[in-house]
Amino acid sequence: MINITFPDGSVREFEPGITPIEIAKNISHGLAKKVLVAEINNELHELSTPITTNSSLKLLTWDDKNGKSAFWHSSAHILAEAVQALYPNAKFTIGPSVENGFYYDIDFGETSFTSDDLPKVENKMLDLAKQSNPFKLYAISKADALDYYKKKDNQYKVELIENLTDGDITFCDQGSFTDLCRGGHIPDTGYVKAVKLLNVAGAYWRGDEKNKQLTRIYGVSFPKKEELDQYLFMLEEAKKRDHRKLGQELGLFAFSQKVGKGLPLWLPKGTDLRERLERFMRDAQKKAGYLQVVTPHIGSKQLYITSGHWDKYGKDSFQPIHTPEEDEIFMLKPMNCPHHCEIYKAEPRSYKDLPLRLAEFGTVYRYEQSGELHGLTRVRGFTQDDAHIFCRPDQVKEEFMKVIDLVLYVFKSLNFENFTAQVSLRDKVNREKYIGSEENWDKAEQQIQEAAKEKGLPTIIEYGEAAFYGPKLDFMVRDALNRSWQLGTIQVDYNLPERFELEYTGSDNQKHRPVMIHRAPFGSLERFIAVLTEHCAGDFPLWLTPTQVAVLPISEKFNDYSQKVVDFLKNAEIRTSFDERAEKIGKKIRESEMQKTPFMLIIGEKESSENLVSVRERGKGDVGTMGLEDFKNLVDQRIKENFNQ
C-alpha cells in the first residue's frame, strides 16, 4: 500500500498504481465530476496518471488557479486541432495558458489569417470539444520526436525538442492531433463547453524581434456557457472604465494628430485634477524633507555624454536640437537625474547635509516606439513626480523605507489596494550588461529586499528586470482590462554619482561618494491619472475631482437664489458649477450624473423661499434638504472620511 497525503494534511492508504480520478471517485462522486487535473508532489499530471509511491495529492477543479491553467492549456490543444483541420499547412509552435485564457502561436506560412477567420475556428473547436476526445499523454524518444516534426517540416518544434533531454519527452494526442507537450491536461475535450477566440496578434518566435513573426490566436474557454457570458459581460463593463473613453467624456485630456502622437493635451478639467494631485504630492514631500527644484526642459549634449545616456540611447531618442550658431547641441531631457546631479554639485556637500532630497515635477520626452503608445499610460512627453535622494551608503536602507512609506501614503489616500511590489534584480547569468561594481550591486539588492520585507510589502522578485545602473522596486497596478502598469518606482543608482564625480566630505575630512536614489511615487502624472481614472471608473475622490458640486435650478425663476448658493460655495472653496439653462431638471441631473459630479443641489420654490438646498449625493440619490452651512459641513466631512479610512 502507498500513502497519499491530501492538502489538509490527512493521509490515506491506497493500492500502488491507483490514479487520481479513482481516488476522487473514492472520495465523492461530485468531486470526481468536477476534478480537472491532479497535482502530484507539486507537479501537474493527468487524472489517469498511476501513482506508485507515497505522494502528496491535490485534486484541482475549475476553482483552482492551476485547474484553470490545465483547462486553458488543454483548450489550446483543441485550438491547434481545429486550426490543423482547417489549415493543414499551418505549423504549430507553442500554446500555453495565460492569466485569462490561452493562446497558440502559429506559422500560417503564405496564408493570411485575420480576425474574420476566428468564428469558423471557434465553431470547429466546439465540434471537437463535443467529441469528448481523451487527452492521451505518452513518452517518446528524442529521435522519434524529432523524426515526427522533421517529416512535418516544423522547424519550431524541432528546435524545442533539440533543447530537451531524451527520456523526458512526451507527446499528447487528442482526436486527430498530436502535440509535443509535458502534460497536465484535463481528461477529455468534452469538459470544454464554451469557447471564445478573442483576437489575433503578431508575436515573434521566442519573443525575439529578430525572429519570424507568428500569428498568435488568443482565446478563453469555460466549463459552462454561463461563465463565458459572464466573462464577456465583464469585458464590456471594463471597457466603460477605459481612461481613454472617460478622459474624453469627462473633458480631461485630448490628443491631436497635428500636435503629434503620444503628446497629450491637458484640458481645463484634467489640468485642474492634475494640479491638485501635484499639490498633494508637494505637501507630502515637504513634510518628508524634500526640497523642490526646477530645471530646464533641455540639456546640452555634454550633460548626457557625462551621464552615459548619449551612448546608450542617443540614436533611439528624439534627435538633438541644433542652435543656429556655433556647435551647440542640446537634447530634450529624457529624465531629470543629470540636471539634479548638477544641482548637487552646485555647492560643496558635507556628510551633515545628507540625505539631500531634490524634488521636481519634471517633464521629460522620450521617443517611444509608435506601436507602444497607449492613451495616457505610454506617451512621448510626460511629467514625473521625480526626486533624487543623495545619501551616504549607510542611509540607503532607511531612505528606501521612507520612500516606501510615502508611496503607501499616496496609494492609501487614493484608495489603491490592489498593487504589487516588484523587486527587479540583475539577470543571474548575463552580468556584463550592468554597470557598477559587483559589491555595490549585491549591497543594494540586499538592502532593497530587506526594506521591502520590513515594510511588509507583498513582493515578487524578477531577475533580469533591473535597470542597467541599479536594482529597483516598482509598484505595479492593473488597469480596467487587467493589464499591469508600473506606477511608483524606487531605484538605487551607483552609476551617476560616479560619472558626475559627486562627492561629500565625511566626518573623517575625506571625500566620499554619495549614493543616489531615484524615486517617483506616481511614476508619471499621466500614467497615474490614467490608472486612477480606471480604478475609480471616473468617480474621483471628492477632494480631487474637478467639479465637486453642481447647482441645478428647477427653472430660471430660481437662478437668482441659485447664484447666491454658488457664490457661497465658491467662497467656501468648494468647486462648483452652475447649470442656468432653461432645461428640465431631469436633464440637468442626467448630465451631471454623466459628468460624475459628487454632489448636486436642486433648487426650486421651497429651497429659495426657505434658504435651503436639496442635496443629491453620488451613489446615494436624494439625501434631503439642509441649510448652506450644513451642506458645507457635509462636504468637509466626506473629504475627511476619505483620508481617515
Nearer to RNA, 88 or 207 (CB): 207
Task: Give helix 396-413 / helix 438-454 axis angle, nearest 10°.
Answer: 40
From 36-44, 64-72, 81-89, 365-373, span contacting RNA (CB under 7 A)? 365-373
Among 154, 174, 189, 215, binds RNA (CB under 7 A): 215
Residue with cell 481523451: 134
Nearer to RNA, 274 or 518 (CB): 518
**Rule CB under 7 A: is residue 240 a binding residue for RNA?**
no
Amino acid identity at 126: L
563 grid coordinates = 447664484
Q: Which of 84, 174, 285, 384 is catalytic?
A: 384
**Distance in angstroms between the alpha carbons of the first and the last residue of the chain:** 57
**Rule CB under 7 A: is residue 298 a binding residue for RNA?**
no
> Would you mind telling me the total number of residues written for the chain in this entry?
645
Among 555, 571, 611, 633, binds RNA (CB under 7 A): 555
**Rule CB under 7 A: is residue 124 a binding residue for RNA?**
no
**Rule CB under 7 A: is residue 616 a binding residue for RNA?**
yes
418 grid coordinates = 490592489
> Least distance (Å) from RNA to the CB of residue 272?
20
From 150-158, 228-236, 334-342, 541-549, span contacting RNA (CB under 7 A)? 334-342
Among 398, 593, 630, 641, binds RNA (CB under 7 A): 593
Q: Which of 117, 386, 479, 579 is catalytic?
A: 386
**Rule CB under 7 A: is residue 622 a binding residue for RNA?**
yes
Select from 196, 171, 168, 199 the least CA-distant residue to 185: 171
Among 335, 341, 490, 566, binds RNA (CB under 7 A): 335
Q: Would strands 194-204 and 213-222 be described as parallel, antiparallel, or unpaired? A: antiparallel
Q: Active-site residue 472, yes or no?
A: yes
181-185 CB contacts, 8 Å cutoff, 24+ apart: 181/77, 181/137, 183/44, 183/45, 183/46, 183/137, 184/37, 184/43, 184/44, 184/45, 184/46, 184/69, 184/70, 184/73, 185/37, 185/46, 185/70, 185/73, 185/74, 185/77, 185/135, 185/137
Among 404, 502, 565, 602, binds RNA (CB under 7 A): 602
Question: Per DSSP, what are the bridge partners of residue 173?
Answer: 136, 178
Nearer to RNA, 150 or 590 (CB): 590
From 200-208, 279-287, 349-357, 533-541, span contacting RNA (CB under 7 A)? 200-208
Among 127, 166, 275, 316, binds RNA (CB under 7 A): 316
Q: Active-site residue 386, yes or no?
A: yes
**Rule CB under 7 A: is residue 366 a binding residue for RNA?**
yes
Q: Which of 68, 196, 378, 388 is catalytic?
A: 388
From 188-196, 210-218, 230-238, 267-275, span contacting RNA (CB under 7 A)? 210-218
From 391-399, 530-538, 569-577, 589-597, span contacting RNA (CB under 7 A)? 589-597
From residue 85, how far is each of 32, 53, 128, 201, 245 by CA, in Å?
A: 32, 40, 10, 21, 40
Q: Which of 518, 519, 535, 616 is catalytic?
A: 518
**Rule CB under 7 A: is residue 255 a binding residue for RNA?**
yes
Select from 219, 514, 246, 265 the least CA-distant residue to 381: 265
DSSP per-residue codes, 553-603: ESSGGGHHHHHHHHHHHHHTT--EEE--SS--HHHHHHHHHHTT-SEEEEE
Nearer to RNA, 447 or 608 (CB): 608
Question: Per DSSP, what are the bridge partners of residue 489?
Answer: 474, 520
Q: Active-site residue 388, yes or no?
A: yes
**Rule CB under 7 A: is residue 378 a binding residue for RNA?**
yes
**Rule CB under 7 A: is residue 42 a binding residue for RNA?**
no
Structural contact between residues 543 and 642, judged by C-beta atoms closer than 8 angstroms: yes
Structural contact between residues 558 and 604, judged by C-beta atoms closer than 8 angstroms: yes
Please name the residues in contact with 588: beta carbons below 8 A apart, sequence gap of 6 or more.
550, 552, 579, 581
**Rule CB under 7 A: is residue 585 a binding residue for RNA?**
yes
Select from 73, 16, 23 the least CA-distant residue to 44: 73
**Rule CB under 7 A: is residue 606 a binding residue for RNA?**
yes
Nearer to RNA, 338 or 546 (CB): 338
What is the side-by-side order of every strand in the sheet holding 381-391? 291-292, 356-365, 381-391, 515-520, 484-493, 472-478, 419-425, 459-463
User: E strands of 54-174, at which residues?
Assistant: 55-60, 91-92, 97-98, 101-107, 136-139, 170-174
What backbone phi and psi angles, to 5 degrees, belong to 520? -150, 105
Residue numbers 383-422 binding RNA by CB under 7 A: none
Among 224, 225, 261, 279, binds RNA (CB under 7 A): 261
**Rule CB under 7 A: is residue 294 a binding residue for RNA?**
no
Structural contact between residues 244 and 377, judged by C-beta atoms closer than 8 angstroms: no
From 25-33, 140-148, 533-541, 548-556, span contacting RNA (CB under 7 A)? 548-556
Select from 383, 412, 369, 381 the least CA-distant residue to 520: 383
DSSP state of 546: S
Q: Active-site residue 391, yes or no?
A: no
> Least distance (Å) from RNA to the CB of residue 455?
23
**Rule CB under 7 A: is residue 204 a binding residue for RNA?**
yes
Q: Active-site residue 248, yes or no?
A: no
**Rule CB under 7 A: is residue 326 a binding residue for RNA?**
no
**Rule CB under 7 A: is residue 217 a binding residue for RNA?**
no
What is the four-CA torsion angle of 611, 616, 620, 626, rounded to 10 degrees?
Answer: 0
DSSP state of 509: S
Q: Active-site residue 105, yes or no?
A: no
From 132-140, 155-163, 342-350, 579-587, span contacting RNA (CB under 7 A)? 579-587
- Return residues touching RNA (CB under 7 A): 112, 114-115, 199-204, 207-209, 213, 215-216, 244, 248, 255, 257, 261-262, 309, 313, 316-317, 334-335, 337, 366-375, 378, 467, 481, 483, 518, 554-557, 582-587, 589-590, 593-594, 600, 602, 604-607, 614, 616, 621-622, 625
Q: What amino acid positions are annotated as catalytic residues?
A: 337, 366, 384, 386, 388, 472, 518
